[in-house]
Amino acid sequence: MHLQAQGVTVRFGGLVAVDEVSLRLERGEILGLIGPNGAGKTTLVNVLSGFQRPLAGTIFVDERDCTGLPRHGFPRAGIVRTFQAVRLFRGLTVGENVEAGYVAQGLGRAQARRRALEILGELRLADKAHHVAAGLSYGEERRVGLARALAVNPRFLLLDEPAAGLAAAEADELRKVIVEVRSKYDCGVLVIEHNMALVMNLCERIQVLDSGKTIAAGTPAQIRSDARVRRAYLGPDALQ
């Protein structure tokens, strides 16, 4: 099973934000999507998750064309995304935040609470269930965002800069959690990240965008040594 973008183009006025990009995410794999600021990464994820209609191109889940689906059709097709900035209800507890995700899926209150506690345990947040979300560290906040996304039981999980602002130890904790989530849910995970240590250690494959175009795709080792990637994006020393 796979999620696929084929020839996706998005324009904002005269700007071509995504320019005939194709991408394929297999269920069970972890794919990195990297590139400099403004490369089109978030816009592509917006298209893959139904938040943005492409000007051209097609989104498939296996052979099924999902391009024209309404926004809520995407989670139903198993595609769930997180945002660059976490959107928690800061006045509610961590447990209530996650519960809300399950209630939105149609679960009753008691069942939603049970599932929320279970998932918080999986994400090593069980002890935070009764804490107010406003008091969380960045790393904890990211994991709560992830817990909420998991309420949909995704087959394809799209994470937009999950490690932004995290210290190295927190980013590493997040890396372990993402690997566990992939195994437990057997989902494909697409990770947009600027944290190269995380990308290189986490992802099995990496696709690189620059100015809306794919400039490279391959294993971390291939990307690390790709001359075009180094030139366009990272500079000669950034991938050591």
Ligand X SMILES: Nc1ncnc2c1ncn2[C@@H]1O[C@H](COP(=O)(O)OP(=O)(O)OP(=O)(O)O)[C@@H](O)[C@H]1O
Q: Which stretch binds Mg ion (CB under 5 A): 1-9, 40-48, 51-59, 129-137?
A: 40-48
Of 28 and 36, which CB lies nearer to Mg ion in the complex structure? 36
Q: What's the CA gap between 208 and 231, in Å, rounded?
A: 12
12 binds, among Mg ion, ligand X, none (CB under 5 to 8 A by kind): ligand X
Tell me if 42 contacts Mg ion by CB under 5 A: yes
What is the C-alpha separation between 149 and 79, in angstroms, rounded? Answer: 10
Q: Pick out residues in 1-40 that bind ligand X (CB under 6 A).
A: 12, 15, 17, 35, 37-40
- In the range 183-202, which residues lie near ligand X by CB under 6 A? none
User: Does 162 engage in binding with ligand X (CB under 6 A)?
Assistant: no
Per CB under 5 A, the segment of 33-41, 179-187, 197-205, 206-214 that binds Mg ion is: 33-41
Phi (first) and psi of residue 234, to 5 degrees: -110, -15
Nearer to ligand X, 92 or 164 (CB): 164
E strands, 130-237, are 156-160, 188-192, 205-210, 213-218
What minimum distance in Å lies between the beta carbon of 159 and Mg ion?
A: 11
Binding-site partner at residue 54 among ligand X, Mg ion, none, CB < 5 to 8 Å by type: none
Measured CA to CA in angstroms, residue 147 lies from 154, 198, 217 at distances of: 11, 20, 29
17 binds, among Mg ion, ligand X, none (CB under 5 to 8 A by kind): ligand X
By C-alpha distance, which of 139, 136, 195, 193 is closest to 166?
Answer: 139
Q: In what order do the strands lie in the sheet with 205-210?
A: 79-81, 156-160, 188-192, 30-34, 205-210, 213-218
In this structure, what are the phi and psi dihedrals at residue 210, rounded to the nearest 5 degrees? -145, 130
Q: Which residues bind ligand X (CB under 6 A)?
A: 12, 15, 17, 35, 37-43
Q: Which residues bind Mg ion (CB under 5 A)?
A: 41-42
